[in-house]
Amino acid sequence: MNFELPFYLSGIEVLTIVNFVLAVCLFLPLILLGYWFIFEFRNLDLGNDDFYYNNDDHHHKFYSEVSKSANANGDIKEGAYNEALEILDRARADSLKILGKAQAKAQNLLDNTYVISKENREKLQENIKNIYDKQNQTLSNLSEELLESYRLSIEEGKRENIRTLYEVTEAMKQEAIRGVDELKDVVKKETIEAQDALEDKVNREYAKVDAEIKEYKRKKIEGLNRKIFELLSNIYTEVLKQDLDQTKHEKLILELLEQELKTSGLKNSL
Amino acid sequence: MAELRKTKQKIKEDAEQIVFNSLKTKRNANQFILLSGALLRRSGEMDIAKVLTDVFGEIRPSWMEDLIKNVPGLQTGILSDSDINILKAIRHRINDAIEVKVDMSFEPSEYFIDSVINIMKDVLKGANKGSYNVDLIVDVNVKEDFEPGAIFYVNGHVIDLRVRNKVINYLYSQDVVNRYL
């Protein structure tokens, strides 16, 4: 992946964030290092005279020595004072010199730092690019792994969902089938009972109507027969009455009596 | 002595039977009861002819001959104990006799009455397991408008022998309407 670091300075070089961080990280130690050199350089310039320099202990020691000298030698107070002033002036001058050198050195260091940054910029970019690529690769791999894992999880979840759905569907199906079967049984039972009841009712009604019709028919036929028989018997009786004398009549009655007693079973009940 | 007593008893029973058999109908039985009552109320020698005339008038029933023949006291005019016992026994038999009531349209002949009694006796003998001591009295009820045939009432049973009913029953039994009409 190609990218350009942002240029914060137009014209010469552009200080990137990385360079800036690197510069700050390097510059501050260098500055401290510069100050350290300056002190060291002064020590080198002043030889073994540690009256003026080294550290704060030396400083305190110096003033304590001066005080002691002043107290000890009142006579040379003024001379020493002057001498001290001179020393101070010289120290000031030296310090200014040292600062100038340090500044020059710092400038030099800054320049070197800049050069180093410029040289390493490409490398840094390349490294960053490599890092980015690696990171990208890693992220890609990670993404792929995550994707694969996610895909596997999804597939597993999908399979689980499908299995669960299938089980739920199967359970619902079985439940529905059971419900339908029960409903079917109930409907069948109710239908059969209703059908039986209806059939019984129809049969009863039919039997009732049939009995009524038969009764009506029987009564009608019976009435008709009675009328016919009465007619016939009347004819027979009228004819018989004309034909019967007492002897025949008595003989007829006796024959009928004997026949009736034989056929009706009155013999056993009289 | 015992033989003589038995013979007398037999004669008495035969006399009862003959007189009772001669009665046959309820009307005759009633006449006998009336006569026997009149005779039993009297004592000593009596004029039988006068008594009969008092009870029946000039026309004497046919059964009187058998009664006079079998009850010697009616011939002599003096009723002995034996004669009185015969009369009483006949009255008891009349009271205990089975009555056969007949509705019909004419006055039946003696032959008809005898035939009815014989037929009924045969039936009752069979019903009484061979017992011959069955006394029957026929009560004839003549109804001029009665149709041909007769109705018999015996021991609570009705035997309808009207010709009309017999014809109708015959037509029913033969299913004449369905078979021939």
Q: What is the DSSP string of B70-135?
A: H-THHHHSB--HHHHHHHHHHHHHHHHSEEEEEEESSPPPHHHHHHHHHHHHHHHHHHTTT-----
Contact check, Cβ <8 Å, A270/B177: no
Q: Which two tokens stand for residue A138?
A: 């890693």
Q: What is the ipTM of this complex?
A: 0.86
> What pLDDT is attached to residue B131?
57
Q: Is A4 left (phi over 0), alpha (psi -120 to 50) or beta?
A: beta
Check CB contact of B90 with chain A, cutoff 8 Å: no
- Chain B residue with CA closest to A230: the answer is B168
pLDDT at A49: 47
CA distance B20 to B135: 8
Residues of A whose CB is below 8 A from B117: none
Cα–Cα distance for residue pair A55/A36, rounded to 1 Å: 12
- In sequence order, what are the residues at sequence separation of 6 or more whose Cβ sits closer than 8 angstroms to the Cβ of residue A127? none
DSSP character at residue A51: T
Angstroms from B95 CA to nearest CA on chain A:
19
Interface list for B 111-130 with A (CB within 8 A)? 111-112, 115-116, 119-120, 123-124, 126-127
Q: What is the reported pLDDT for A87?
A: 80
- pLDDT, residue A51, reads 45
Which amino acid makes up residue A194?
A
- Cβ atoms of B162 and B148 within 8 Å: the answer is yes
- Its sign, for the CA torsion B48, B49, B50, B54, is positive
Cα nearest neighbour of B161 on chain A? A256
Query: Could A221 and B167 be called an inter-chain contact, meaning their C-beta atoms sit closer than 8 Å?
Result: no
Characterize the bridge pairing of strands B136-142 and B98-104: parallel
Q: How far apart are CA A10 and CA A17, in angstroms?
A: 15
Q: Which of residues 195-254 of A touch B (CB under 8 A)?
A: 221, 224-226, 228-230, 232-234, 236-237, 240-241, 244, 246-247, 249-250, 252-254
What tokens does A8 get?
Answer: 């914060």
Give residue for tokens 């020393």.
A87
Contact B148 A249 (CB under 8 A): yes
C-beta atoms of A253 and B150 within 8 A? yes
Q: CA of A184 to nearest chain B CA: how many angstroms apart?
A: 55
| Phi, psi angles (nearest 5°) of residue B29 | -65, -40
CB B152, CB B100: distance < 8 Å = yes
Residue B163 touches chain A, beta carbons under 8 Å: yes
Report the distance separating Cα A94 and Cα A47, nearest Å: 13
Alpha-carbon distance A269 to B156, whole Å? 10
The separation between CA A41 and the C-alpha centre of its own chain, rounded to angstroms, equals: 71
Q: Do A228 and B168 touch (CB under 8 A)?
A: no
> Which regions of chain B are under pLDDT 70?
1, 126-133, 181
Count the Cβ atoms, other than its own, within 10 Å of residue A264: 12
CB contact under 8 A, A256 and B104: no
Distance of alpha carbon A56 from alpha carbon A37, whole angstroms? 17
- The answer to whether the beta carbons of residues B90 and B19 sit under 8 Å apart is yes
Report yes or no: B154 and B98 within 8 Å, Cβ to Cβ: yes
- Asked if A254's CB is within 8 angstroms of B112's CB, the reply is yes
Q: What is the pLDDT of residue A53?
A: 46
- Is any Cβ of chain B less than 8 angstroms from the Cβ of A259? no
Low-confidence ranges of chain A (pLDDT < 50): 1-12, 47-55, 59, 62, 70
Amino acid at B133: N
